[in-house]
Structure 1
Amino acid sequence: MVWFALDDGFDTHPKVRKAGNAAVGLFVRLGVHATKHLTEGHLDGDIVRDYGTAATIRKLIAVGMLHEPGHGCRRCPQPADGGYYLHDYLDYNKSRAQIEAAREAARKRQQKGRDTARANRNGRDSGVNLNSNSRQNERSSRPNCAENAPLFDDEPAGQDGSSRRDTHEGATVVPSPPIPSQNYDVADVDGGTTGSSPVDLDAYAPSPIDIDGWTLTDGLRRWAHRDGYATLVDLDYETAQFLDHFRGNGSRRPNWNTEWQKWIRRAHKWATERSRTSNVIALPGQPGAPLTGTDAKVAGWMAIAEQLRQQGDSA
């Protein structure tokens, strides 16, 4: 499933205001049709005339939201004879090739996850533990705690008499936490990893953002540069954060392009606020540091004395 992308400032755009609600409704229907059928913004004339009236079609053409053959917009391709084209469609929406590639990648991920789940289920049904070798190695490499543990006497520590916690009677038994599995990568101090085998992330169900095949398009990059967000925001870094966030919570958004644009706007706002706030704090006695305590009182007395001196000079 794919979505027709609209910017979150679409409702207040001058073209939208000038076109009016009826024409904008036609524009949205045409956009959904183009996205559903992967036409990359090209529209058959019969579809346009079936969806809208002659007046609404003329309004979209007049404001530049819809192009007919022979139009003068340099950013948009020419439609076929008798057809139309949605202005800047590929700037905000994926091409047919991108959508088909994303669908195929999602299909392969899902199939791999199903195959892995089926193999694990068959292994359990046959009584074979697929991870028995790694776990056996883990147990064999683990030191024998009972043999190597030092011997202690049974006397209570730091007390003359025994307490309730020094005896089995009345003591609260707290179960030991389970030993975590070592079948995952753990970052080491020198930058390497430890663990018996890494987790195959593709074996798990893919997140909605991956199933939908969202990627950062050139059109979205142009939008960020055009509106000035790229001056303070690292687009690649924020995109990685964006993907990690939605892969982590597994939620789905109706329009990933719009969600990414909101993410970039927030990142730009925070970067702007940080640039306006100095992170250098002057210590007491340094230039720019606020006066406190006795220093503040002395400064106040000196200000009063200077004011009296000036009044005396002017008398």
Structure 2
Amino acid sequence: MVWFALDDGFDTHPKVRKAGNAAVGLFVRLGVHATKHLTEGHLDGDIVTAYGTAATIRKLLTVGMLHEPGHGCPRCPQPADGGFYIHDYLDYNKSRAQIEAAREAARKRQQKGRDTARANRNGRDSAANLGSKSRQNERSSAPNCDENAPLFEDEPAGQEGSSRRDTHEGATVVPSPPLPSQNYDVADVDRGPTGSSAPDLDAYAPSPIDTDGWTLADGLRRWAVNTFGAGIDPDYEAAQFVSHFRSTGQSRRNWNDEYQKWVRRSAKFASERANRPSNVIALPNGQQLTGTDAKVAGWMAIAEQLRQEGDSA
């Protein structure tokens, strides 16, 4: 499933206010149609006229939310004759190639998960069958062994008298070797757990954010920098964002909207940390006190100030 992206400032944008509710409703329908059919913002004239009236189409063209052939916007391609193009579509939405690549990657992950689960299931069934046959052979051969076995006297072997190893007291207990653990493929360096015993978790439960194929679009990257300045790193935040939702396995209806919330929270926390008062106090001799020492020094300074004010009263 693919989503037509609208940022959280869409409703108050000057173009949207000027266009009016009816024309904006047409714009949303056209955007959903373009996203569903992977047209990368291009629209057939028949679709536009079927969805909207001449008045609403003219409003979108006038405010620049929609383009017709021969338009003067330098950032948007020219539509075909009789067609239209949604302004800045690829700044906020994925291209056809990106969506198809994400779908193919999701298909391969799911197929890998099914193949791995099938191989593990077949391995367990084979082990169970082998164990069952082995137990049957042991039961069938046990009587023959008892009948043909030679008789031995119950005495120490290879020496006269008893050895400490032949008696219970002082006997050395040799531990059994550990049972072999199930072998898994070694995980890739950039994926999850490492080590020969770490299972490939992605193969069992593909993450919804991976299945949806979310990536950071250029429009969102510019929005983060323009809103919060150079102090924010959109690509780093995107990596943390994907890692978080990949580990939790949670799903969201609109990943672009969720990413904007993530960046706002990150910027808010960074601002709070920067404005947090310091717990370091510098003494007249240049020594610095931190932690509990700084708190005690602060209390003593307050007490001294109150004493001086009392003496001067």
Give the count of matched residue pairs: 256
- Cα distance in 2, alignment partners of residues 16 and 146 from structure 1: 83
TM-score by length of 2: 0.71
RMSD value, Cα: 3.2
Q: Deviations over 1:204-223 (max 9, x none)?
A: 22111111111122232222
- 1:269 to 2:268 alignment: yes
2:252 counterpart SS class: coil
Superposition pairs of residues 79-228 of structure 1, within 5 angstroms = 79-127=79-127, 147=174, 195-228=195-228
Instruction: Give the equivalent residue in structure 1 for 2:240.
Output: 241
Q: Deviations over 1:265-295 (max 9, x none)?
A: 2111221222222444326878997876664
8 Å CA contact retained: 1:182, 1:195: no
Report the Cα offset of residue 246 of structure 1: 1.0
Give the aligned residue type for 2:262: W
Q: Deviations over 1:219-266 (max 9, x none)?
A: 32222223334x222323221211111112212212212211221121
- Cα distance in 2, alignment partners of residues 52 and 194 from structure 1: 55
Instruction: Give the equivalent residue in structure 2 for 1:51.
Output: 51
- 1:255 to 2:254 alignment: yes
- Cα distance in 2, alignment partners of residues 94 and 267 from structure 1: 25
2:75 counterpart SS class: coil
1:228 counterpart SS class: helix
8 Å CA contact retained: 1:69, 1:78: yes
8 Å CA contact retained: 1:183, 1:195: no
Structure 2 unpaired stretches of 5+: 130-171, 176-180, 188-192
Q: Residues 146, 13 of structure 1: CA spacing in aligned structure 2 closer, same or farther, 3 A cutoff? A: farther
8 Å CA contact retained: 2:225, 2:234: no
Superposition pairs of residues 68-87 of structure 1, within 5 angstroms = 68-87=68-87
Choose between structure 1 and 2 for higher RCO, CA contacts under 8 A separated by at least 6 residues.
1
- Cα distance in 2, alignment partners of residues 38 and 293 from structure 1: 67
Give the aligned residue type for 1:79: P
Q: Deviations over 1:150-170 (max 9, x none)?
A: xxxxxxxxxxxxxxxxxxxxx
Report the Cα offset of residue 29 of structure 1: 0.4
Q: Deviations over 1:60-91 (max 9, x none)?
A: 11211111112222111111111111111101
Give the aligned residue type for 1:244: S
8 Å CA contact retained: 1:65, 1:86: yes
Q: Deviations over 1:8-42 (max 9, x none)?
A: 22122222122111111111100000000000001
Structure 1 unpaired stretches of 5+: 130-144, 149-179, 187-192, 309-315
Q: Could you say which structure has the higher helix fraction? A: 2
8 Å CA contact retained: 1:185, 1:199: yes
1:236 counterpart SS class: helix
Larger Rg: 2
1:108 counterpart SS class: helix
Instruction: Give the equivalent residue in structure 2 for 1:299.
Output: 305
Report the Cα offset of residue 125 of structure 1: 2.6
Report the Cα offset of residue 43 of structure 1: 0.6
Q: Residues 296, 43 of structure 1: CA spacing in aligned structure 2 closer, same or farther, 3 A cutoff? A: same
- Cα distance in 1, alignment partners of residues 301 and 125 from structure 2: 80
8 Å CA contact retained: 1:41, 1:85: yes
Give the aligned residue type for 2:20: G
8 Å CA contact retained: 1:232, 1:271: no
- Cα distance in 1, alignment partners of residues 186 and 120 from structure 2: 21
Instruction: Give the equivalent residue in structure 2 for 1:159.
Output: none
8 Å CA contact retained: 1:233, 1:271: no
Give the aligned residue type for 2:249: G
